[in-house]
Amino acid sequence: MREAEIRAAALEEFVRRGYEATTMADIGAAVGMRGPSLYKHVSSKQDLLASLMHTTMTALLHHHDEAVSGVDDPVQRLRRAVDAHVRFHARHRREAFVGNRELRSLVEPHRSTILGLRDTYEQRFRALITDGVARGAFRVADPQLASYAILDLGMGVAVWFREDAGPSENEVAWAQVEFALRLVGAATT
Amino acid sequence: MREAEIRAAALEEFVRRGYEATTMADIGAAVGMRGPSLYKHVSSKQDLLASLMHTTMTALLHHHDEAVSGVDDPVQRLRRAVDAHVRFHARHRREAFVGNRELRSLVEPHRSTILGLRDTYEQRFRALITDGVARGAFRVADPQLASYAILDLGMGVAVWFREDAGPSENEVAWAQVEFALRLVGAATT
DNA sequence: TTGGTTGGCTAATGGTCATTAGCCACCATG
DNA sequence: CATGGTGGCTAATGACCATTAGCCAACCAA
């Protein structure tokens, strides 16, 4: 559908220029039409952003849930959660980048919705770490700081990861899973 | 001086709204004058941003150099470097936040200058880690990924650190130094 | 063939913005 | 008391922008 092309183009422009600096004409040019014509397919620039961010956060949560589902051992759970986290941020770095940087540009009630989803996601990691500490698998002074640290690693990936240069997705995922396990004081295999 | 007030106000507004969304009138209002009056003290909005970012990066590099100067042992060097890194991002979180998020809004040649300084800073960490690995103090598969990870921890601090709530600067610094040492596989004391 | 719908276009509309021009009060120095 | 600079103001200027209105060609169904 034309709308999907427009959303993809908008994402690309939001990454390159930022939401505020992107004009409807820019997005239009990227799909071969004039700015006003976009309104035959989308309702507004703001909706474009909100919808992109909502899709991203929902997909991230699904990705996480699938990764850890059925796994009980804290070390394995964390391993899978971080692997999923890193791979998501590598594969969907544009989406994740916009999701992290353009929160300011979201207008209520979208902002609160997205912040809620982000919070939910952070809680999963924090709970996972807290559980691991309680069960003696991890050794961490402050689970919240540890979960922030792990999440921040992923955000970083969205910023500097490149498909065509530098370490591959596998290399990054492997390295960061290792970092995360070391970070929480899990025994390294 | 009036200019210092303006720079401080601009920084605050750039953090709150982002560079693109901040108007000269916003900055003026924050120091009790009208937008156009700002031009009696600064030359342009772009210069305000470039100058803020340049000051920040220079200060960060100085802070780093002072922290590691005269220390040779890799573990101690990394400990001090990360401590300085984290404390800088906690104490100057607004500056660091803008320095990280508004690169896109910088126009050449400012952008290249700042990117150069960032790269210099990253190289210090990478060299430090590479050296530690060579001397058997650290165990890391990819020093570049490790340096990115450590730097990303600091960027995260600039995003979520609050002076009035959550963990204190000392707590964050202590935790992240520990994280960094674990990350690079240094023996924990 | 006809009549409606789709999806494009250009031209408003009603803003907002950075920056410049030109004015003036204040104030310190002679 | 002049006078010149400082630092504020309001009013242009010359953009640019999201969104809406209104037009029209192409296509599709009857």
Q: Which nucleotides of C are covered by protein (CB under 7 A)?
A: 6-12, 16-22
Whether B35 and chain A come into contact, CB under 8 Å, resolves to no
Average pLDDT value for residue range A156-176: 97
Q: Which amino acid belongs to residue B146? A: A
Whether A139 and chain B come into contact, CB under 8 Å, resolves to no
pLDDT at A1: 82
Helices A45-68 and A24-31 cross at an angle (nearest 10°) of 70
pLDDT at B164: 96
Question: How many residues are present in chain A?
Answer: 189
Q: Which of residues 110-129 of A touch strand D (CB under 7 A)?
A: none
Minimum distance, in Å, between the CA of residue A37 and any CA atom of chain B = 25
Q: Do A142 and B167 touch (CB under 8 A)?
A: yes
Q: Do B153 and A149 touch (CB under 8 A)?
A: yes
Q: Is the Cβ–Cβ distance between B24 and B38 less than 8 Å? A: yes
Which chain B positions have a beta carbon within 8 Å of A182's beta carbon? 182-183, 185
Closest Cβ opposite residue A153 in set B105, B152, B166: B152
Average pLDDT value for residue range A21-50: 97
Closest Cβ opposite residue A153 in set B144, B149, B182: B149
Instruction: Count CA within 13 A, CB hemisphere, residue B35.
Output: 7
Question: What is the Rg, in whole angstroms, of the alpha carbon atoms belonging to chain A?
Answer: 18
Q: Which of residues 45-74 of B touch strand C (CB under 7 A)?
A: 45-46
Quick one: which of B114, B121, B118, B116 has its CA closest to B84?
B121
Minimum distance, in Å, between the CA of residue B183 and any CA atom of chain A = 5
Q: Which amino acid belongs to residue A39? A: Y
Q: How confident is the model at residue A53 (pLDDT cuts 50, 70, 90)?
A: very high
pLDDT at A187 over 80: no
Sequence-ordered list of residues with C-beta below 8 angstroms from that of B92, at least 6 positions apart, any chain: B56, B59
Q: What is the pLDDT of residues B68-91, one digit of tens each?
A: 999 999 999 999 999 999 999 999
Question: How many residues are present in chain B?
Answer: 189
Q: Which of B23, B153, B157 is most worth mutating to test chain A (most A CB atoms within 10 A of its CB)? A: B153
Q: What is the pLDDT of residues A141-159, one digit of tens each?
A: 999 999 999 999 999 999 9
Closest Cβ opposite residue A152 in set B142, B156, B182: B156
Q: Is the Cβ–Cβ distance between A177 and A83 less than 8 Å? A: yes
Peptide bond into B74 cis (omega under 30): no
pLDDT at B1: 82
Protein residue closest to C19, using CA and C1'? B36
DSSP B2-18: HHHHHHHHHHHHHHHH-
Q: Is the Cβ–Cβ distance between B6 and B27 less than 8 Å? A: yes
Residue stretches of chain B with pLDDT short of 70 = 188-189
Which chain B positions have a beta carbon within 8 Å of A142's beta carbon? 167, 171, 175
Q: How confident is the model at residue A188 (pLDDT cuts 50, 70, 90)?
A: low
Residue-averaged pLDDT of chain A? 96
Quick one: which of B7, B186, B16, B2 has its CA closest to B102?
B16
Q: Do B148 and A160 touch (CB under 8 A)?
A: yes
pLDDT at B188: 61
Which H or E run contains A2? Answer: helix A2-17
Q: Which of residues 4-33 of A touch strand D (CB under 7 A)?
A: 22-25
